[in-house]
Structure 1
Amino acid sequence: MDKKSIKLRRVRESRIKDNRFSQAIKVLHGIPESSSSRAGLSLLAYCYFYIQDFNNAASYYEQLTEMFPENDDYKLYYTQSLYQACLYDQAFQVSNNLLENKSFVGQITKLQAAIKYSQEDVLSAKSLVEACPSDDPDKEVNLGCLLYKDGNYEEALVKFNGALQNQGFKPYLAYNIALCYYKLKEYGLSLKFCADIIEKGIRDHPELSIGMQTEGIEVRSVGNTLTLHETSLTEAFNLKAAIEYQLKNIDAAREALTDMPPRAEYELDAVTLHNQALVNFDQNPTEGFEKLQFLLQQNPFPPETFANLLLLYCQHECYDLAADILAENAHLTYKYLTPYLYEFLDAVITQQTSPSEAYQKFDELASRHTEQLRKLAKQVQEHRNRGDIEVVKKAIMEYEEYLERYIPVLMAQAKIYWDLENYPQVEKIFRKSAEFCNEHDTWRLNVAHVLFMQENKFKEATGFYEPLVKKSYSELLNVNPIILANLCVSYIMTSQNEEAEELMRKIEKEEDQMFFEEPEKKYFHHCIVNLVIGTLYCSKGNYEFGISRVMKSLEPYGKKLGTDTWFYTKRCFLSLIENLAKHMIVLRDSVIEECVQFLEACELHGKRVRTIAYSTMAEENESPNGKETVSYEARQLKAVLLKLQDY
């Protein structure tokens, strides 16, 4: 998740109250003289700067500097426009011409520092900042920015807090403080400063329509004005979304992005576009990929874009596309991927052609991490013995960061054997990592899955599934339905039928409540639990009970019939038909009649339900092929069943 990074404070043009700059530009372009007169060019340049179209602003200020070379104000505005347009080399070159004007030395020094900061030349930026007068209020802020850039978040925080006390509440200072707390993983304090920025924005600028989009009120775009920039609202909402995303509160992250002042999509900044792609990815992966690919072609783009695009390609098994992106953007690899992430992605992509080589790469990565984790665990214990609370806190944070990097490596390594259905070997890999991961939810969940799949360790699987479910027992619909289904099956297989029934009643009760509150929303938890239980009984040969459970799971059909639920339903029906055709089982006519009636209901409700899941690159609103619908397949299954009944 991306959040806007801290920028050095620099001189800006003064803001004015009138916000009809876009209309002014249209009027000026309609007057032929405006493109050649001093007043017309100056107004056009200023209007473009105000709406943050810095390329056009730079173009008009350049014309003014050529027409009036003696006017240093135009050169200053030209330099600022070039800087804002990310044309850093050109901006620095033009700024050098202004150093002879003593009245501009302070402003130009800060502007040059900002340019070097943006070019990642921290040493040059630092020397320029230190050259500024000590009584300049921006100096302390800029030193804080340099400390932030070096990763010294605590020291940067001291600088920003000092500036906030001396200068009073300024949105950009509050945002810098919030960002430091975010980096220190003190999310509560970070959200507090974001809330302060948002509250001030709502109070001082009702014209920015904050939160109205979320409430469903149609509002026009507020545009990209300096007023919006100076409120730091865009940055605050993006940071709030980033925190909620980190905490896995995806709905809250989406809400944070829709709460920000409304703008048209073409007006969105790169960070907002990036964050929209991430938080809405589950709902619309095609659009998410398109946005990230678009951003990768911009200059500059959010640093996280490159890594996130690669990770999402791998997550959705588009390994060829990930390999292509890596090959085409080799120059970005060293700048935007850490050595760890590059090695991890390389191993994931290698797995598609050579699992053994990929396993070796994962093993080397895992060994390095386990060695470091042991070292850090020892340091934590030593600092605890000494009573160094702050040092212990930092050591624990570092340990947790390494653990979060180790878990994906471990899971990717285990997946190689999982795909081969060698579950005992997967279990062995997990057992070896227990000393580090036994309290980690991802590890516990995957251990539960691998025990469940071995079909003779349901009791052990229950021990891992139960704590995960009980943690969210008051909100079971937040739990992945497969976890609930597997726990119910484990209960049944270990003769704990009462516990299974109680859990299913609780799920059904929660779904009924949600249907009442949000009638348009679909929930599949109870359906999937019944499907899994029905599939289990079918696999054990008890088709009469198993099929009845499967059929019951899809009621009501309008709410429960979907691509995934139909896939598991038809598997059971195909297995039933195969065994009937081979005369391995016998079903009562009444059961077959129930099956036919069920398939007729699926035929009726499944006309628009696909049987093939969306490709990540497919058009979401594309109509399904006639033979790729539940209706078509239900008719086929019904025809076969009726034919078997005649025999």
Structure 2
Amino acid sequence: MLIHVKDGEYTKTIYSLIRDQRYADAVQLLNNILETHENSRAALSLLANCYFYSQDFINAANCYEQLTILFPSEEDYKIYYAQSLYQACLYDEAMKVTSQITEPDFQEKVTKLKAAIKYGEGDLMAAKSLVDSCPVDDIDTEINRGCILYKEERYEEALQKFMGAQQRTAYCPHLSYNVALCHYRLKEYNQALNHIAAIEEYGISEHPEMSVGMNTEGIEVRSVGNTLALHETALIEAFNLKAAIYYQKKNFDEAKDALTDMPPRSEEELDAVTLHNQALINVDVNPSECFEKLQFLLHQNPFPPETFGNLLLLYCKYEYYDLAADVLAENAHLTHKYLTPDLYDFLDALITQQTSPEEAYLKFDEIASKLSETLRKLTKQVDEARQKHDDSLKKYLRDYENVLERYIPVLMAQAKIYWDMENYAQVEKIFKKSVEFCEDNEIWKLNVAHVLFMQENKLKEATRFYEPIVKKNYDNMLNVSAIVLANLCVAYIMTAQNEEAEELMKKLEKEEEQLAYEDSDKKVFHLCIVNLVIGTLYCAKGNYEFGISRVMRSLEPFNKKLGTDTWYHAKRCFLSLIEVIAKNIILVRDSVIQECIVFLEQCEVFGRSIRTVNEQPLEQLQMHIGKTTVAYEARMLKSLLMKIRDA
């Protein structure tokens, strides 16, 4: 009997719990044993194993440390101790323990572990030197070289190493994940998804107890825990990568599904990458929780490298520039490690914009000039590679796309300074300077369309930019932003192309009817917003009776069309109507005012639970909930109209 206690059933129970991967129960039982038999070698060893298998590496390290003290001649315990420290990212401590292992039979293991430690520390030169001293024919050596190449951003070479290793061994989910990760970095998303699908299939067939996909289907299942078996399936890594791919492709619903498809775990069991991805993908739904998770991760060791930059960018997105500045100041030690020079300069310019738009513009201009120069060099390299049919063409194209992805946000931030000043002509000039790089970029074309639309004498040009966006999604126009469709319809009307506007609206109406047939509970606001914008246009031109009537019809039926955004457009028209009547600028028939009052009464009925503002997530003083509903504002507007009617 391994554990010397009076009741031999303990031994049987513990091994049964470990076999069933019920490590938490085994840990509790083993701790009970050690309270009365504190020097029990077998119990302490099993406890260390249970902690390690459940990925509680700190406690595993503590147990193995005790074992190395109690049994200093056992080199195995030193290896396990060092491995536990390494897994807990305590690299200095792990390296000290490896230097104490002198047994020749363990030196190959020690060298591999030292290489892993140096790799974790980011010391790639030392890691490479240690890997090169390992046996050439060892498959681990080839995989480790692939990992180093990946860290050096030599993704194609890393991919070759991983694929070579795949051919030499039985199916390994983690190796397949490495291959998928390289494809992801090379923006070969379909190939990456194929390897992820293979990991999923293997995990489901070999470990059906992992409950893959059950959360997404709405089936409540218990946590599978952070077991070694879960780690070996690479399912968590695969689903996180899948979510990242769909996020990059702007398919946010699929990205959310990927995170809920992964084996279920309680929130306290979630790894740092999953927590980061949950925060990022659900930021629009719950921004406050997103900020909390990212702030929490910053104080963990380690945390995903993207956490720092993403937290700062999200603070800027929600206009919490003071908080972004505070985070930068408090974490100066993270700046050089986790922010590229371009990203740091970009964030600095965004924060500066709040106090000095002129200085911020110059900072953006300096960043844009550097990136423009890089884009010109890459354009030249691409042209030369095409002429020579050079194999490096693919690399140059990928580099060009990566630099362009960094250039576009800088350009848009620079343009926004003048957009906020309503200096649309200057915004247009900024966009014209970037045409050589951005003429095929969808974000650039959309923003050019918007700035042309805002200049009434350039509506014809605006349609030429809006039309390709709409035609690209002609078979599924609900994929197009409602404001794009609305602006295009207005541009058609203002340039005497009424037939085109009617055709667009009929197509949109058919798609909404089809969607309502397939999913009667789903709210869709596209056609409603188009009609609201057109109604607003007529009101702006002084034709209030027609404009207001169109606005009112657009919100029928109220249970499906009344929402925060649609109410925003509608109430602006009513406020404008009340203002011009009060100033005796126009006269409106009593029947029209009565129709407006009836309409507002309906809004009051259906708008009791619809908020009129999307409050900032971190605001200290929240508005009273009773004054931020459609019902409240509808009553206020009705009261004003009744006063005008009875005056």
Match of residue 61 from structure 1: 64
- CA shift in 2, pair 1:619/1:358, >3 Å: closer
SS of the aligned residue for 2:487 comes to helix
Size of the aligned set, in residue pairs, is: 630
Measure the CA separation in 2 of the matches of 1:125 and 1:581.
78
Residues 57-114 of structure 1, C-alpha deviation per residue, up to 9 Å, x if partnerless?
111111122222222222211111111111110011011111x111211111111110
The answer to whether the 8 A contact 1:61-1:77 is kept is yes
Post-superposition shift, 1:627? Answer: 2.0
Which runs of structure 2 are paired with 1:30-429 in the superposition (5 Å)?
Answer: 30-31=32-33, 32-33=35-36, 35-98=38-101, 100-388=102-390, 390-429=391-430
TM-score norm. by structure 1 comes to: 0.95
Measure the CA separation in 2 of the matches of 1:127 and 1:642.
84
Post-superposition shift, 1:559? Answer: 2.1
Match of residue 646 from structure 2: 646
Measure the CA separation in 1 of the matches of 2:594 and 2:264.
56
Measure the CA separation in 2 of the matches of 1:473 and 1:633.
37
Match of residue 613 from structure 1: 614
Measure the CA separation in 2 of the matches of 1:518 and 1:286.
31
Post-superposition shift, 1:553? Answer: 1.9
Residues 202-229 of structure 1, C-alpha deviation per residue, up to 9 Å, x if partnerless?
1111011111111111111111011111
SS of the aligned residue for 1:486 comes to helix
Measure the CA separation in 2 of the matches of 1:191 and 1:580.
61
Measure the CA separation in 2 of the matches of 1:147 and 1:244.
25
Q: What amino acid is aligned across from residue 625 of structure 2 in structure 1?
A: N
Quote the RMSD (CA, aligned, Å).
1.7
Unmatched runs of 5 consecutive residues or more in structure 1: 1-14
- CA shift in 2, pair 1:396/1:36, >3 Å: same
Measure the CA separation in 2 of the matches of 1:604 and 1:497.
35
Does 2:535 match 1:557? Answer: no
Q: What amino acid is aligned across from residue 214 of structure 1 in structure 2?
A: T
- CA shift in 2, pair 1:364/1:307, >3 Å: same
* Range with bigger deviation, 547-556 or 351-360: 547-556
Post-superposition shift, 1:618? Answer: 5.8
Measure the CA separation in 2 of the matches of 1:302 and 1:188.
24
Q: What amino acid is aligned across from residue 66 of structure 2 in structure 1?
A: Q
Measure the CA separation in 1 of the matches of 2:64 and 2:623.
51
Post-superposition shift, 1:318? Answer: 1.3
Match of residue 3 from structure 2: none
SS of the aligned residue for 1:167 comes to coil
Measure the CA separation in 1 of the matches of 2:68 and 2:303.
30
Measure the CA separation in 1 of the matches of 2:98 and 2:294.
34
Post-superposition shift, 1:267? Answer: 0.6
Q: What amino acid is aligned across from residue 394 of structure 2 in structure 1?
A: K
Identify the structure with bigger relative contact order (alpha carbons < 8 Å, sequence gap 6+).
Answer: 1
Measure the CA separation in 1 of the matches of 2:570 and 2:80.
67
The answer to whether the 8 A contact 2:349-2:360 is kept is yes
Match of residue 10 from structure 1: none
TM-score norm. by structure 2 comes to: 0.95
Match of residue 589 from structure 2: 588
The answer to whether the 8 A contact 2:328-2:335 is kept is yes
Match of residue 636 from structure 2: 636
The answer to whether the 8 A contact 1:608-1:624 is kept is no
Residues 420-447 of structure 1, C-alpha deviation per residue, up to 9 Å, x if partnerless?
0001111111111111111111111111
SS of the aligned residue for 1:457 comes to helix
Post-superposition shift, 1:560? Answer: 2.1
Measure the CA separation in 1 of the matches of 2:23 and 2:190.
38
Runs of 4+, deviation exceeding 4 Å: none
Does 2:626 match 1:626? Answer: yes
The answer to whether the 8 A contact 1:610-1:624 is kept is no
Post-superposition shift, 1:125? Answer: 0.9
Measure the CA separation in 1 of the matches of 2:223 and 2:383.
55
Measure the CA separation in 2 of the matches of 1:48 and 1:303.
27
Post-superposition shift, 1:379? Answer: 1.7
The answer to whether the 8 A contact 1:34-1:41 is kept is no
Q: What amino acid is aligned across from residue 346 of structure 1 in structure 2?
A: D
Post-superposition shift, 1:470? Answer: 0.9
Post-superposition shift, 1:624? Answer: 5.4
Residues 214-264 of structure 1, C-alpha deviation per residue, up to 9 Å, x if partnerless?
111111111101111111111111111111111111111111111111111
Post-superposition shift, 1:623? Answer: 9.8
- CA shift in 2, pair 1:34/1:504, >3 Å: farther
Measure the CA separation in 2 of the matches of 1:134 and 1:436.
46
Q: What amino acid is aligned across from residue 283 of structure 2 in structure 1?
A: F
* Range with bigger deviation, 225-234 or 549-558: 549-558
Residues 161-194 of structure 1, C-alpha deviation per residue, up to 9 Å, x if partnerless?
1111111221111111111111111111111111
The answer to whether the 8 A contact 2:18-2:26 is kept is no
Measure the CA separation in 2 of the matches of 1:252 and 1:281.
15
- CA shift in 2, pair 1:115/1:221, >3 Å: same
Measure the CA separation in 2 of the matches of 1:465 and 1:200.
46
The answer to whether the 8 A contact 2:279-2:290 is kept is yes
* Range with bigger deviation, 578-587 or 38-47: 38-47
Post-superposition shift, 1:412? Answer: 0.8
Match of residue 602 from structure 1: 603
- CA shift in 2, pair 1:524/1:459, >3 Å: same
SS of the aligned residue for 2:392 comes to helix
Measure the CA separation in 2 of the matches of 1:186 and 1:158.
15
